[in-house]
Structure 1
């Protein structure tokens, strides 16, 4: 477990250093996470949480008050993604063939506008804020007549806070299910978490695999996105309890001979599970 922890912390340490965060900041974040997990037992006292985690009781008390009074942070990129999905998937913002329409800023009786798109998407963001972010990310084009054209239905955060939010959401969910699988007792149901690894490949073979994987992954995500949006709309219309959450994703890691991202002395496991990995 110590070896695995060291391997996981290496890329995180790189992120900390690049963002000028020191060991005190990292330690405070770790304390908060340990206390938060310790509080999953609602009956646990500060002393019990301190005993289980090794965090000083004074810190447990301070962090407990902070955690219990805090609000769940919204992820702005999630709102942006909802807008893009609605524009590309839902009538009347797209045509019968599924092509996003050109939208005026303000709607007309015969055609919806961008402001109506924001309302339909049910995001708690001002239309001007969303418009500004879409333009900044080069996801839309503003025509001379004021019409707005959707250039891409996929939002990929490139930098800044949006990239950190995406990193938190993506890595957090994957790490959560991977942890659940490690902790699952033998024979218990496991989350689907499989990976394909091949070594001894030429640079051209790695490039060919990467290109094909990107194409397949994009198709996979677009198909599920359309299905999820349809089901979400049906759930909303039916009025039934709809508090479920679904997450899936894809990552591609072409590793060339000059890549030194794996720290020396940290072993690369041959398998993630008994049946799901090809090497």
Structure 2
């Protein structure tokens, strides 16, 4: 790499950042995001971060200081400034669906003794567990029948032989590269990276960010560990969801958010790169 980084701290980031970006670049190339398009996006982000995240208390952030922080010419800085900090809006379908699924997985009325989501009749009397009661407890803006039709069409739920609504495994993880999957792609990777960055730049590590990893495994063992890790992870996520759901019932609310995430990954390790190559 020929570009220079001024500080030793920046130079030390070269290798880990290259490793971090490699799968993203693979996605960019696969989805048609060219290098010039990425450059334009990065230029906007550099200016935005410098403008909003590195402003000095009580002082106006100037074009000259943003230019100094980013290495971007003042003329370009002036053109790009003032756009406001990026806002990650939650798509309506994602917000509604995730809240309904979270309740189905956490509320004791809709789960069995092992915490698994119950098959639900379409409707039922009063407060009896039903898909209608589940949806109505989250939103009154849509008819439960409309939500059910959407879920059946998307494969998020199915009907069993007793005409009860069954939550499909596909509901846990959006697929297909559509809006829901891409939203969580951005949100979850952002939070994982933000936690790691906060631990690096902060005086003491604040967030839990750890992994268990073994190298030199057979393919069979790697697959078995992947499957077992998936089971452990789902148990942890289900427990965290139940406790968070219960705690929210008495919480007064506020402006904070919380995210608890897990990932499992396995691959055939590539050969070591030659010295000086990424």
Q: Give the TM interval when normalised to the shorter protein.
A: 0.7 to 0.9
Aligned residue number for residue 22 of structure 2: 10
Deviation of the 1:197 alpha carbon: 1.9
* Larger deviation, residues 202-211 vs 19-28: 202-211
User: Any idea what the Cα deviations from partners look like across 1:181-218, whole Å, max 9, x if unmatched?
Assistant: 12123xx2432111222122222222222222111111
Please state if 1:254 is matched with 2:271. Answer: no
1:243 aligned to which of 251, 255, 261: 255
What is the rounded CA distance, in whole Å, between the counterparts of 1:81 and 1:48 in structure 2? 42
- Aligned pairs (5 A) from 1:33-44: 33-38=45-50, 39-40=52-53, 41=55, 43-44=60-61
Shift of 1:234: 2.2
Once the two structures are overlaid, the 10-residue window that deviates more, 58-67 or 197-206, is 58-67
Task: Say if 1:102 and 1:149, in contact at 8 Å, map to a contact too.
Answer: yes
- Give 2:191's aligned residue: 173
- Count matched residues: 256
Counterpart contact for 2:110–2:118, Cα < 8 Å: yes
Please report how far the alpha carbon of residue 16 of structure 1 lies from its aligned counterpart in structure 2 after TM superposition: 0.6
Instruction: Please give the TM-score of this superposition, normalised by the length of structure 2.
Output: 0.76
Contact 2:112 2:118 (8 Å CA) reproduced: yes
Whether 1:88 aligns to 2:88 is no
1:228 aligns with 2:244: yes
| Contact 1:139 1:151 (C-alpha < 8 Å) held by counterparts | yes
SS of the counterpart of 2:241? helix
> Which shows bigger deviation, 48-57 or 21-30?
48-57
Find out whether 1:264 has 2:273 as its counterpart: yes
Q: How far is 1:153 from its partner?
A: 8.7
Which residue of structure 2 aligns with residue 158 of structure 1? 175
TM-aligned CA deviation for residue 221 of structure 1: 0.9
**2:4 matched residue in structure 1:** none
Check conservation: 1:46, 1:61, Cα contact below 8 A.
yes
Deviations 1:26-65 (A, max 9, x none): 1122122212221122731233222211233344344333
Residue deviations 1:220-249 (CA, integer Å, cap 9, x gap): 1111111111111221xxxx2433322222
Q: CA deviation at 1:141?
A: 1.1
CA distance in 1, matches of 2:185, 2:205: 27
Say yes or no: does 1:65 pair with 2:82.
Answer: yes
Deviations 1:60-114 (A, max 9, x none): 344333335x65421443432211121233265456775424242x665465664
Q: Which runs of 5+ in 1 are unaligned?
A: 268-279
Cα distance between partner residues in 2 of 1:83 and 1:250 = 21
Structure 1 vs Structure 2 CA RMSD: 3.3
4+ residue runs of structure 1 moved beyond 4 angstroms?
A: 91-99, 106-116, 122-130, 143-147
Q: Distance in 2 between matches of 1:31 and 1:118?
A: 43
Residue 67 of structure 1 aligns to a residue whose secondary structure is coil
Q: Does 1:23 align with 2:35?
A: yes
